[in-house]
Amino acid sequence: MTDRPEWMWRHATELRNHWWWRPGWQIGTRFYAFHLAVGCCEDLASLVAQYQDAVRDIPGFDPIPREWLHITMQGLAFVDEISSEDLASVVKTTRAALREAEPFTLVFNRPLIRPEALVLVPEDVKPLNNLRDTVRAAIDKALGRGIIDLGSPDFQPHVSFAYVNADQWAADALTALEGVESSPTPFRVDEVPLIEMHRDNRMYEWRVVESMTLRQSMYDDLSYRPADGAPPLP
């Protein structure tokens, strides 16, 4: 038995095409969001590649290129629905809030089959929940509570590594994924990018608008080391 919620471990059995158009989306749409790009982590990218290789010969899946691997965290607004002044205010307020947030490490291991994607779920989601709450509070502080619809507070963070592109059963994918030997793989979260994203090419692609760092210890700066016997700086 596990005390983790079902969404973190129960596999979907029936899969559906991920590429239907959500409300407000079409070719050419651009959207601002706070997502965590994870493809920069060599170990996590290697874990993803193992699982992608396992399902490569099974029809119905679009593997996600390393550069577009991400954790969906918090949407902001369509580009044409927020002014440059409001966007600048969100950036300023969120940057200040994140400077007070502690970096943390997520651990990924086994895959999960969701109805529209094959994913990895972190073993502990609490730090991500806290980070998302910080970003949501900063947006409300910048623009006023409720001015922008931030969506449901419910959050199921994950790294998708393949999107489903056709309705199908999950059995073949489950068998293939269960045959992969893996080990716990860490990913360090120390920055949050604001991105401008689109899905013109049947993939979520983006450019980074601003990158915001989380709180940094003085010891994260390798240029500083206290002298032997000297107390740390206050």
218 Cβ neighbours under 8 A, 6+ residues apart: 224, 232, 233
Residue 142 lies in a domain: yes
Asked if residue 37 belongs to a domain, the reply is yes
Establish if 231 belongs to a structural domain: no
Quick one: pLDDT band at residue 146, thresholds 50, 70, 90? Answer: confident
Asked if 115 contacts 164 with a C-beta cutoff of 8 angstroms, the reply is: yes
Residues 138, 117: contact at Cβ < 8 Å? no
Residue 151's pLDDT band (cuts 50, 70, 90)? confident
Range of the domain at 79: 32-218
Residue type, 21: W
Q: How many domains does the chain have?
A: 1
Residue 192: closest CA among 76, 80, 79: 76
Token pair 């716990």 in the structure block, residue: 184
Reported confidence tier of residue 3, pLDDT bands at 50, 70, 90? confident
Report helix, strand or coil for 2: coil
Question: Which residue's entry shows tokens 């608008």?
Answer: 209
Is residue 228 domain-resident?
no
Instruction: Provide the CATH number for the domain around residue 173.
Output: 3.90.1140.10
Residue 99 counted as domain residue = yes
Is the pLDDT at 5 greater than 70? The verdict is yes
User: Is residue 26 in a domain?
Assistant: no
| pLDDT classification of 147: cutoffs 50, 70, 90 | confident
The predicted-structure confidence for 172-204, as pLDDT tens digits, reads as follows 999 999 999 999 999 999 999 999 999 999 999
Region 86-110: mean pLDDT is 97
**For 7-21, 95-109, 110-124, 144-158, which range has the lowest pLDDT when averaged over its residues?**
144-158
Percent of the chain surpassing pLDDT 70: 91
Please name which of 139, 132, 133 lies closest in space to residue 93, comparing C-alpha atoms. 139
Does residue 1 have a pLDDT over 80? no
* Closest C-alpha among 161, 148, 154, 151 to residue 128: 154
Find where tokens 């290697």 sit. Answer: 46
> Taking a C-beta distance cutoff of 8 angstroms, is the pair 110, 48 a contact?
no
Separation CA 18–CA 28 (nearest Å) = 18
219 band by pLDDT with thresholds 50, 70 and 90: very low
Residues 6+ apart with CB under 8 A from 6: none
Measured CA to CA, the distance from residue 6 to residue 9 in angstroms comes to 6
pLDDT of 123 higher than 70: yes
Instruction: Tell whether the model's pLDDT for residue 220 goes beyond 90.
Output: no
Amino acid at residue number 227: A
- The predicted model scores a pTM of 0.88
- Does any domain span residue 64? yes
pLDDT of residue 180: 96
2 pLDDT tier (thresholds 50, 70, 90): low
* Residue 5 belongs to a domain: no
